[in-house]
Amino acid sequence: MDTNYSAVASCANVSLHKLVSGLVQSLLPLTVKRHNLVLNEIPRDLCVGADENMLAYVLWSLINGAIQSTHNECIHIEGVTMDDCMMIRIKDVGTYFRHTISREYRQVQHVAARLGGSIRIENGMDYGTNAAFCISNCLLAA
């Protein structure tokens, strides 16, 4: 993926379910090889105003990292809305997720910040490791 984002980002109304479905489809060979299952649980009508290419880069990096960090697992991708921000959470990304994504983490964080968002990685005793991309935005219906 091209990571040169020096040009001005173009903002569009992006269907998150559709975007994530396409990204999951592109990662299907790796998913099958790792014996994983990826579930897109983002509501179909959930949209965000953002640069689609930059958004795809951030989400692809997180989903790819989750798939590469797990074996024989079910990875859940969900969209949660809270006031004026939205969180795209990738659940059960595996214990090695930080190591897997570490090579490109700064670049992914930079692109997320350019979108007005941030990335969080949460380690919980009861629920394993989750990655979340939070973005501030007015949500739009598709």
The pLDDT of residue 7 is above 90: no
pTM for the model stands at 0.85
Domain ranges of the chain: 12-141
The confidence score (pLDDT) of residue 8 equals 43
104 Cβ partners below 8 Å, 6+ apart? 61
The pLDDT of residue 82 is above 90: no
Tokens found for residue 1: 């993926």
Q: Are 80 and 69 in contact (CB under 8 A)?
A: no
Coil, strand, or helix at residue 14? strand
pLDDT band at 97 (very low <50, low <70, confident <90, very high): confident
Second CATH level (architecture) for the domain 12-141:
2-Layer Sandwich (3.30)
